[in-house]
A and B are shown apart, each in its own frame.
Chain A
Amino acid sequence: MIAASQIEPVRPSPLDSRTGERREMTLHMGPQHPSMHGVLHLVVGLDGETVKWVDPDIGFLHRGVEKLCETLPWDAIAPVLERNDYLAPSTNSHAFCLAVEGLGGVDVPRRAQWLRCLADELSRISSHLVAWGTMGVDLGGAFGGGTSVFLYCLRERERILDIMQEWTGTRFHPNLSQIGGARYDVPAGFDRLLDTKLAEIDAKLDEMISMMEESPIFQARTRGIGVLSPELALGLGACGPVARASGLALDLRKTRPYEAYKEIDVPIVVRTEGDAYARYRVRIDEARVSIRLSRQILAGLPDGPIHGRPPVRSSKHKAPAGTSYAAVEGARGELGVWIRSDKEMSPTRVRLRSPSFANLSAIVYILPGHLIADVVAVLGSLDPVFGDVDR
């Protein structure tokens, strides 16, 4: 593992070593850019087309979520936090609820735990579908095969959104997790619905792989690009598919299991190459695992109530005093919430541990030496979501 003090930012001299003339152009990519995955202002130092250094400038989507949570009643925070990592929404509120329940005083029924994990898995599949689609757009452009892949991925994602709509009433931010349990129980006939939709996605996944991976152009664009070594990944705190593609077997569902994962075996997908292709491939395999897990969770759903507190009638719930940290395995890695409570109407401090922030910090070290076209390919493979980076 590399200590933080040993990691030097890469910033070579702008002058050519042989002739002494200035050979560097500064290009500002973003924040409005078709491929910045949100709003990233990336200042790139270029020598021709080669990237010499990269300076990410984040904060354009900073919404002050952590401060906002200090003003909201406890039960009202989970819907707000769902907008944090907005592509895998259920994972955020799940992490928050786990943290608050860790303070004590609430008993979460098993059925609720399993339902929350099911929502997590569905969010994960949905997020990975967006990740491939946007990676296709990054590689192939808005006027090319990339957009075709993007639209196919979003079409499949519609099936997941249909599942969420049947279950919770809204497609995207279901607000399923609540302090003490889950809000909505599965409707009648849900297992048939889930089975059908997931089977459709599974079948179409082969098609998308055909479009992306089996094309030699994709292989040429992603093999060996943006290699992240395991030591650097560990030193930066990279997590999720990014870390697993670099050989680190980090998956909270396996290493620190919570809720349903204590009873279900989750196979971790690990690759050793650490390049953009490995990260993409890890997500594909993970999505397949998630499809299997969703079926498994639904099949093994325990009976019982879905909430451990009396029906949420009052917004005057006060969590016990103390501090607590809980993390879930989000679509991008370890999504953690640290809470400090002084038994007030609102938490005293909410701190979000963002997986995208850690993953994104790798670009400073892995991009120099690549070309401009690789910048977008690497960003696509790291899959940051800026609601999470900036909070």
Chain B
Amino acid sequence: MWTADSILETFVFPFAISLATLSVFMTALIPVLWIERKLAARLQGRVGPYEVGSPHGYLQPIADVLKLLSKADMIPTQADRLLFLFAPIWTGTCALWGVALIPFAPGLAAFRSDISLVLLLAVASLPGLGQMAAGWASANKYALVSALRVVGQVAAFEIPLIAGAITPAIVYGSLDLNTLTEAQPAVGFLFGHPLGIPSFLLFLVGMLAEGNRTPFDIAEAESELIAGVTIEYSGMRFALFYIGEYGSLFLFGLLACVLWFGGFRGPFVPGPHWLLLKGFAFFCFVTILRWSFIRLRIDQFLKISWSGFVPASFLLVLLAVWWVG
């Protein structure tokens, strides 16, 4: 029998929390875009966005998205129409699925599960599928070469990403992100445990590769392949890729904050504000890396992965298991 309580519990609360989580996340993307542009500018000795939303260009991300929305929608004649339309929708939305699993406050996540870490990792590699679909469907050789690179890149860097993320799970004996947040020492897993830094580095490398950020942005490779897989996309479809890229990146950032930096924990009151602050700080760090490094070539990149990071990942997992046992 459906009672009022059970309806509330089964439908209304999860729906409300999901809506709230999604709204918070999407709204958080606006400062993320602003940070990207402003930080990039300051690293290069420029001022960055200024006029739009004077005096610091706060409204620039909104202007960017509005601009993209107003562009003409073009589909190449020879493109595989279904895949072409599917790819940006897939990439744009599956970046958002993982947000449901992130705990924003003690015990508060849109989708609570005992294996939320595994679910999150599974969902986090899905945007790559959209990129491959876009590369194939665009009927453009640049996109095709880029898609081939994406395939190699995603395959190569999944293992360091997962190994890095699994280590705190092994050490603290749980796959639930909520438990992992609470179980960390006060300074966070990164500094509170000898395996913190190696696992973080592996995760960082995997995250940069999955998120197509320099030094691993060969799939986009603006100077060789112009826009990579998104070369034929314009307007709202490109905006979806754009949002998907930053959403996915911010999601990884939130995951990193949860696993290594204590998530929603902080002085005074724990809650989503700490998680978001840490998320923004981490995003700043990733942006600084992006604007400091030039990129590797695809063969060098795959070589260091398969002969460097993958063995290191196995070693790390073995070490973690030995540590616990």
Contacts and interface: CB of A to CB of B under 8 A. Distances in A.
Interface string A133-155: 00011111111111111011001
A371 B44 contact: no
Nearest to B289: A145
A352 to B, nearest CB: 29
B214 A145 contact: yes
* Interface band, chain A: 35 or more
Interface stretch (A93-101, A213-221, A284-292): A213-221
B222 interface: yes
A27 B146 CA distance: 13
Contact of B44 (A25, A27, A147): A147
Contact of A141 (B44, B221, B297, B298): B221
A146 B43 CA distance: 12
B294 A215 contact: yes
Contact of B298 (A27, A371, A375): A371
B220 interface: yes
B224 A143 contact: no
B224 A217 contact: no
A381 to B, nearest CB: 14
B281 interface: no
Given A220-B297, A371-B297, A141 B45 contact: no
Interface in B260-310: 290-300
Interface in B137-176: 141-142, 145, 148-149
B45 A34 contact: no
Contacts of B62: none
B213 to A, nearest CB: 8
A25 B293 CA distance: 30
A212 to B, nearest CB: 8
A142 B222 contact: yes
Contact of B215 (A49, A148, A217): A217
Chain B facing A: main interface SS? loop
A144 B298 contact: no
A296 B294 CA distance: 36
A35 interface: yes
Given A143-B214, A152-B45, A373-B221, A33 B141 contact: no
Interface string A15-57: 0000000000101000001110000000000101100000000
Contacts of B221: 141, 373
A375 B294 contact: no
A373 B224 contact: yes
B296 A221 contact: yes
A212 B293 CA distance: 9
Given A33-B226, A35-B223, A155-B45, A373 B218 contact: yes
Interface of B: 43-46, 141-142, 145, 148-149, 214-215, 217-218, 220-226, 290-300
26 contacts: A25-B141, A27-B141, A27-B142, A138-B223, A139-B295, A140-B223, A143-B214, A143-B220, A145-B215, A145-B291, A145-B294, A146-B294, A147-B291, A148-B43, A148-B44, A149-B294, A151-B44, A155-B45, A212-B294, A217-B294, A217-B295, A220-B296, A220-B297, A371-B298, A373-B224, A373-B297
